[in-house]
Chains A and B, each alone.
Chain A
Amino acid sequence: MSALSAAFAPGSIEVAVKASTREDAILAAGRLLAKSGRTTVDYANEMLEALEEFGPYFVLAPGIAIAHGRPSKSVLSSGLSLAVLAEPVVFGSEHNDPVSLVFGLCATDHDSHIDVLAELATMLTDTDLVTFVLNAVTADEIRALLP
């Protein structure tokens, strides 16, 4: 199993997630981190703080947001979640709105999850693969696309 595949704990990927605001969308990705045992429920609110402080800078590519907080006591182990939104949500990003894929990221420190991010960067560079993820009907289909 690749580092990226292992980073998504069981229950951390969900499709057809309903969210009407960018806050809802971020909280959805945060809820999946808590549900899959990576964080306490508090972490989702820590993810929102970045938005409040700096705006939607974490919408990194067309349709793709990577929401995260800082390493904190709310983080139980490093990992990822993915909420595929039922309807795209406007985040206020100049170049990359609207958002359909919201990844949640949590880390216990600054470098133990670097191999995971390297694999995620490679995956998101592959536009065909991103299209497959967007069109997946079940979480298992997305899991099967992971390296």
Chain B
Amino acid sequence: MGIGTSVLLKMNAEKVLKQLGIEATVEAADMTTARTLGFNANIVLTTPELVASLTGLPAEIISIDHFFDLEELTKKLGKALL
């Protein structure tokens, strides 16, 4: 499981989902786990550098440029889920 970057993204994603009023389970995962866990996910949030390594998953892959920009997260998660 993730210990660093993915946990930071999970926290901000949870914050944004709550603001949007969307109920969701968010898991932090390292790449090995993501390739497995991603099969059960509706959405996989990742960084632009890792998108290519995650293609092939049935989930919608959303690339986040700035992990601490809650507006970007809100815009992209809102577009995918609302």
- Which residues of A line the B interface, CB within 8 A? 54-58, 60-62, 64, 66, 68, 70-71, 93-96, 105, 107, 110, 113-114, 117-118, 120-121, 124-125
Contacts and interface: CB of A to CB of B under 8 A. Distances in A.
B1 to A, nearest CB: 5
B3 A70 contact: yes
Interface of B: 1-5, 7-9, 11-12, 30-31, 46-50, 53, 65-70
A57 B68 contact: no
B5 A58 contact: yes
B49 to A, nearest CB: 4
Contacts of B3: 68, 70-71, 105, 107, 110, 113
A114 B3 CA distance: 8
B49 A117 contact: no
A70 B65 CA distance: 23
